[in-house]
Amino acid sequence: MSKTIITVVGRDTVGIIARVCTYLANNQVNVEDISQTIVQGYFNMMMIVDTSNAAVPFGDMARDLEQIGQDIGVHIRCQREEIFEKMHRI
């Protein structure tokens, strides 16, 4: 199984989750876990997704999601699970 961590941060607006999840579903990426909060108008979401059957390469997915984020005014970042784990190990 190949997992990716997706984070979304920015001003809250209608449709953030829908845009991200629609893109993922259209590209055969399964959402395994999702957590989101809104604090004083700021949206924060973290997703763990399975990209084992993804219809697009990781780099394309990361670029596409970054562009979706720019379109809706949030910052979207994708990291492979193994990189995320190493970066956050103390």
Separation of alpha carbons 17 and 72, rounded Å: 11
DSSP SS3 for 51: coil
Among residues 13, 22, 81, 89, the alpha carbon closest in space to that of 46 is found at: 81
- What are the tokens at 16? 């953030």
- What is 3-87's CATH topology? Alpha-Beta Plaits (3.30.70)
- Higher-scoring residue by pLDDT: 3, 85: 3
Q: What local confidence, expressed as pLDDT, does residue 81 receive? A: 76
Q: Are 81 and 4 spatial neighbours (Cβ–Cβ below 8 Å)?
A: yes
Which pTM value belongs to this model? Answer: 0.88
Domain ranges of the chain: 3-87
Instruction: Please write the tens of the pLDDT for every residue from 30-51.
Output: 999 999 999 999 999 999 999 9
